[in-house]
Each structure stands twice: as structure tokens, then as C-alpha cells.
Structure 1
Amino acid sequence: MSEIVSRVHSLTAAAAGALPCADEITALTDAAQLALLGELSALRREVDTAISLVASDIERKSARELGPESLARRAGVRSGAELVQRLTGSSLTDARKAVRVGGLLETAASVSPAEETDAPAEPRSIEALAALGGPWSAPIAVTVRNGWLPAEHADRITSGLGVPRDDASTPAYRQAVLRLIADCWDGELTPEDAARNAKATRAVLDREWATQNAQRLYEQRSLKRTVRSDGMVKYDLLVDPATDAQIWTPIRRHLAPRLGGPRFLTDEERARAEELQQDARTNEQLLADTFTAFLTAGITSSGVFGKHTPTVTIAVTTSELKKAITADAARRNSPPHDGPPGQPPGAASGTSTHRPPATPPPEDGIAWLDGTPHPLTGAQLITSLCDGSAAAALLDETGQTLDATKAERTFSTRQRRAMAIRDGGCLIPGCPMPPDATEAHHLNPWNERPQNRKTETKDGICLCRFHHLNLHNQGGHIERRGNTYWLHWPGREPTRLLPKHSLTTQLRTQGTIS
């Protein structure tokens, strides 16, 4: 073991014995705890400095040009940063930061050798930094080495500024570094503040980069939709700052009192603020509801879809609709409670003042959205129909749509929608195609008899393009027996085609259809 390693090993053992335990910390006064945290932070900075110097040297010995002699390659990893990550147990991001900080410390040693331990401490000043030689980043390096600036701040500034595009812009970068360091000293900036200021400075110094970066951010925009196993749907929306301003500004303005914004001045605004404060929904729920409301309003009023504004279709039977209407009336006629709007009874005082009614509430209805096994409550159905965000497709208790027939050979849009709701997608077993990816297949060939020239919803089913063509090409056909459909395939026994919509599952569960 080398002398340095042995010395640090002894230091580690001594530190472990000197560090306080939880009971000792809780017994300290507030002032003593603050002083202890300061001392521990100073100790950590010294250790982090040494780690950074080692990390930087490991990275240099792991250069790709060294090939098989690379230290990282001999250790079985791709880079020096990955080797540092393995040895320190840190994240790869922290390991790379250690390498960068180590590089800064090496730069500091080259432009301004460290003072002897018995020499007076060098005064912290922008003038001293401005007098340094070396590269444009030398002032940052020296502030870290001298303890004038935390390594985290220095790394954020360096990363945010990037590098000068050419020699002509180097003096401007040097002046920007001095200003950013002074801002950190004068304003006690956080690392996040320092990074933001550095990025803004880079945009001013390098307009070409600013343009390219704005375009790069814009091109990364995306929206991902994931359906979880519990039925909840997650939207992962990634937008550039300009788009975010368009989305977030009206939402923040609308929910300002709940998001830490101003309470406003007018009586109306004060009342709105008080209502938001008393709303029982969490901030996350309020944000979700507000975002949905804005999006729905934009769809219905913007005219971007012309006359064909997309409408959500909800499938419901006549009996379930009646239940939903009855339950809604019962809710509207129930005695009012003492809490604010949207808050359950008794929530304002912390005790329940709500007493159960003398008679149980009527059974609520259920309805179904396309492609999901999770039902809507009657209340959700009534709300959706009231605000015009959805259209109801009404079915009887046998699963057939009401008022959806048309005396034409071609299925109408309304009939296609009814078929999609009834079938829930391509009816061929095992086919995952949803309703909007299917075609309407006529069960009764046009040329068999005149009666077939009348198109009715019950005589059509949903098939995807592949299975539709395959059925015609391979000689198969589909037969309707009452309210059930059967696939006849040459050489096989008939197979019943089971609808995939959740409303049909409800009716089969209730026994109203087989």
C-alpha cells in the first residue's frame, strides 16, 4: 500500500470514529447543529476535491486512443467515468462531473499554483481572477481550487457556457465568466440559478448556437400514451420552452392562488381565490382537470376540425341510462351539506356531519367507452352528455342499437359508429385491431335477394382490413343467428364471434344476451 493510500486509510478510520451518531445529533442545540453541518460540508468538499483529481487522472489514463492499454478497458468498462462510477458507487452523471471538476482543478494548478500552507490566504476578488493567464475558464478553475466557489456552481457555469466558437469570441467568454462568478458571490445564487444564467449568457454570445439549440429542443417534442394495468392512462408530454409557455401560462393564471401565485385584487378574484383554496381536490387533480377542460374547449370551439369535430362515443343501454338519470336526480335533490363546493360533507371541520339517508340511494347506471374494460359511472355519463364532450350510442337490452338503421346499401357514419361500439373491434378471435382500424363487412351478399339491398346495422360487423380480405378470398362467411354471429370456415366447425366491447360483457353478465 502506497504512503498516500495508507494516509487516507488512517484518515478514514479516524473520521469514522469522530463522526456523530443520530442520538448525538438530536441532542445538539440548533446553533451546534448548524455549525456541525458546516464542518461536515467543508470535510465533504475536501474529499470531493481529492476524488475529482483522481477521477480526472483515471479518465486521462482511459482515453480511447490507448486501446488495450486503457485503464477503463482493462477494468472491463468503456470509459474512465464508468470506472469512477463503479469505484465510488455514484451515478454516472456524478462520476462525469467529478472528471470535469478534476480537469478544472488541474487547470487551476497550471495557471495559479497553490499557496503554501503557512502563507496568508489570498483575498477573494474579481480583480485577482481577471489578472490570471491561461484559458478563458481559468477563473472558474481557480475559484474552485481556492474554495471561493462550490464545485457544483463551477460545473454548472462551465457546462452552461459551453466553449467559444472561435478565438475572436474568447475574450467575451472570459468577461462573461467573471460576471457570472461575481453574480454567484453577490447574489448567493443556487447551482440552478448559476446554470440558468450561464445558458442565457451563451445564447447572447453565440447566436448561431442559440438558434440551433432552439430548433433542437423543438424537434424533441413528443407525446406518449401508456395504458396502465389498472386502467389509468398516462400521457408523457415533452415540449420546448416556447410551447410550454403557451400551455402553462393560462393554467398557472387560472390556478394561481393554489400554485403560490397572487390572490388578486378585485372582489371577484378574491372570491375565486377563496374557492380554489377550499377545493378538496389536490393540486395535481386540479391541474389535470384544468388541462382537460382547456383542451376540450379548444377542440370544440377552435374550428380546426371543421364540421367534423371529433366526439367521444359512450355506449349505454336504455335501462342503464334510466338508472343514471334517476341517480342524478336523487343526487341533485339530496339535502345540501355545509362544506365548500367540491368538498365532501364534514370535511371543512374535520368531523363528519353527514348522516345516511333514510332510504338507500338508487342504483347508478354504468356506461362504456370504446376499447376499455373500465366503466363510466352514471354521473360521468350525465356530465359528458351535458357539456357536449361525448355522444351517447343507445342500445337495447339485446345489444342492438336503436334508431341506427338506414335504407341504403352503404353503412352510414352513424351505423358504423354503432357497429364499432357493439363489436369493440375486429371480431375475428385474437385480432387486436380497435374499432377505428376496422371496416364494415356485409353479412348478406348484395346479389342473393332484393331484401339484402337494405342495409341494417345488425347485418354488418367490424373486421380489420386483413381479415376482411382474407374472409372473401378464402371462401369463408359469417352468419347471424339472432343477436349472435358465427364464422364459417371451409373444413371447420362454426366458431362464435364474441363481441369485444365491455358493454356486451355487461349484458352477457346480466344474462340479457347469451
Structure 2
Amino acid sequence: MDFLSDLEQRIAAVSAFAALDVAAAARRSDDDIVRLIEAGSALVRVGERLRAVAAGVAATRSVRESGHAGLAQARGHRDAVSLVQQLSGSTRSDAAKQVRLGESLLEASMEIGRVEAGPGAMEESPRGLPWHAVVDAAVLAGGVTVAQADAILRGLGDPPADPGDVAPGRQAVEAWGIAAQQLLDEVPVRTVEELAAAGRQIRDRLDAEGAEARYLARHEARSFRMWTDADGIHHAKLRFDDHGAAWVRSMLDSALRPRRGGPRFVDPEEAATAGDLIADPRSNDQLAYDLIIDVLRAGRSPTHRRSSARGSPACAWSS
């Protein structure tokens, strides 16, 4: 099915509601509202697919080698992501997703074209279809959204190259393709965030050597920065390594469990404490902030100041 035919079908599904505006929607039944959300979402997905393909084409025509003659550069943009962001009115992150998916769709389409052209054409691509071909097919069929596909693609990442080669081997491509299909099967029961997390976990199991390198990179990327904005409000940006993130998350989860639907306490004293926390007028974010500040004040010592200058991947938050 081409984009136009699919688009016509989705428009027909929305048109079945006849005249519809905000006031008319407010008078619809609950079942109608659910169907309208489904129909509208399906219509949006077709538009997203069409935009992703166009974004991928724009990216191929805006490569650095094209210089100022590139599609994006000729229109005053640094790259295709900037062009898509301006045209779509989206965030740069969303525009980057569109471009990444579009490039993926084009790559798979080219490989499929070589397969259909015969063995001679396949000599240009001896490894066959890319591992993400199953994801691309699901996108074109409307089975997954752009956000879901991007979560799978980024979560799994590209398979590692064979030693002495610049491209992944057949076994790696097949393993990543199987992993991608597994995640596609889980789309109905997983959120976008869960798909990305599952993809990263699978990648680390498939590529143990790369997992260690990524772990060390996350450790090296740890940082803390503070600044004050024009209104005098103080801000901070903290980039965790794995150990630090686990320690802070465990601390906050334990302290805020009564606010987040944790188990009921049998002990009267613990139950009373949980009740006080639930009744506390502070928001969860405010409680988390106050807890972290309390921990920092309690843990302030010369020992902590000395150890902060060292920091190795094996050094967890043990104090």
C-alpha cells in the first residue's frame, strides 16, 4: 500500500464521524471518543511515515560533501535535522528521530531493490538486508510509530564490526535482526521507554566487549554543573555514571515509596511515618530535593572531598 492510499483510508475513517469540531467532540459518547483517538492516531502515523521518508531523502541530499549546494544548506540550515525541525515545528530531538528513521528506511529500501534486481546487483551488498529491515517494514506497514521504531533502533544500536573489517558480519546482522523482531513483538505491551531499555539490555548481552566500553564511556561522562539564570534561580545538571544513578534511585525509591503506591506497612510506627509522608504538602520533586540536600549535608567530610578527585569505574557510592 502506498502512502496516498493509506492516507485516504485513514481520512475516510475520521470522516465517518461526519461534522466534527471541539463542541461536537464534547458531545460524543465514551466509545466514540476512544474510536476518534484511534482514528486520529492512525492518521498521524501515516503523516509521520511520509515525513520520515522525506526527512531521510533530505538527509542524503544534505551531506557535508555537498557543501552549500546541499538541500538543507542551500536553504540556510546547518543540516537536515535543522531543516526538518524548522519545517515541522518540532524539537530538535524529534526532528533527529525523523531523520534517523528516514535514513534507515532508505537504506533498507535500497537493499531490497538490490535483492529484487538479482544476484549481480547483490554483489554491491554481500551481507544482504540490514538488521533493521524488520523494523523498517513494521513502520511502513503502520505497525509501530516513529517513536517506537526509534527506541528499538537506538536501543539496539548497530552490531559491532568483524575484526579487521568495517562492517558487521552475517552472524551479527542476523542476531540483531532477531533481537529487533523480538522487540517488535513486545511493542503492544511495552512503553517507548521500556523498548529502549530492553534494547540496550539485549545489546549488552550480544556484545559483551562493547558493553564494557559503553560502561566506561558512561563513567567518563559523569559530570555536575551549576548555573544561575537571568531571574536568579539556581540550576544544576547532573550526569550520572551507573553506580551513582543506582544509588540515588534506590535512595529516592525507598524514601518516597509510600507516595508511589508502595506496600502497606504493618508496623504502627512505620505506618504512621508513611501516613505523615503522604499528607506532606510538598510535591514528590520537592521531597526528593530536600532528601538529597539532607544527604549531602550529612555526608560532607574531608574524606568525601578527597575521594571526589579520584573516581574509578570500580568506585561505587559505598559510604
Judge same fold: TM > 0.5, yes or no.
Answer: yes
Instruction: Report the equivalent of 2:44.
Output: 44
Q: Show the 5 A alignment for 1:116-127.
A: none
SS at match of 1:225: strand
Secondary structure in 1 matching 2:186: helix
1:94 corresponds to 2:91: no
Q: Which amino acid aligns with 1:171?
A: E
Structure 1 residues 41 and 280: CA distance shift in structure 2, 3 A: closer
Percent identity of equivalent pairs? 31
1:209 maps to which residue? 210
Matched, 1:156 2:157: no
- 1:220 — aligned with what? 221
1:263 & 1:223 partners in 2: Cα distance? 36
| Unmatched runs of 5 consecutive residues or more in structure 2 | 114-127, 162-168, 307-319
1:195 aligns with 2:190: no
Q: Deviation at 1:257?
A: 0.9
8 Å contact from structure 1 (residues 153, 194) kept in 2: yes
- Report the equivalent of 1:292: 293
For residue 470 of structure 1, what is the aligned residue in structure 2? none
Mapped contact 1:259–1:283 kept (Cα < 8 A): no
Of structures 1 and 2, the one scoring higher in RCO (CA 8 A, sep 6+) is: 2
Question: Alignment partner of 2:300: what SS?
Answer: helix
CA distance in 2: counterparts of 1:50 and 1:224, whole angstroms: 40
Change in Cα spacing, 1:291 to 1:139, as seen in structure 2 (3 Å) is: same
Residue 165 of structure 2 is matched in structure 1 by: none
Secondary structure at 2:281 match in 1? coil
| Partner of residue 255, structure 1 | 256
Equivalent position SS for 1:236: strand
Match of 2:317 in 1: none
Contact 1:108/1:145 (8 A) holds in 2: no
* Count of residue pairs the alignment pairs up: 274
Match of 2:142 in 1: 147
CA distance in 2, matches of 1:219, 1:106: 35
Distance 1:78 1:69, change over 3 A: same
C-alpha spacing 1:29/1:105, structure 2 compared with 1 (3 Å): same
Could you tell me the TM-score, scaled by structure 1's length? Answer: 0.48
Give the corresponding residue for 1:422. Answer: none
Q: Is the 8 A contact 2:155 2:199 kept in 1?
A: yes
Q: Secondary structure at the match of 2:72?
A: helix
1:176 aligns with 2:175: no
Root mean square deviation, CA, Å: 3.2
Say if 2:112 and 2:129, in contact at 8 Å, map to a contact too.
no
TM norm structure 2: 0.74
Q: Structure 1 CA distance, aligned partners of 2:180 and 2:109?
A: 18
Matched, 1:20 2:15: no
1:78 counterpart SS class:
coil
Letter in 2 for 1:247: V
| Structure-2 separation of matches of 1:69 and 1:53 | 21
User: Aligned partners of 2:57, 2:282: CA distance in 1, in Å?
Assistant: 54
Amino acid at match of 2:264: R
Letter in 1 for 2:176: Y
Over residues 323-357 of structure 1, what are the superposed CA-to-partner deviations in whole Å (9 max), with x where a residue is unaligned? xxxxxxxxxxxxxxxxxxxxxxxxxxxxxxxxxxx
Aligned CA distance change for structure 1 residues 79 and 279 (closer, same or farther; 3 Å)? closer
Equivalences for 1:105-504 in 2 at 5 Å?
Answer: 105-107=105-107, 109-110=109-110, 134-166=129-161, 167=169, 168-185=171-188, 188-226=189-227, 233-299=234-300
Alpha-carbon separation, structure 2, partners of 1:305 and 1:220: 20
- Structure 1: give runs of 5+ residues left out of the alignment: 114-132, 307-514
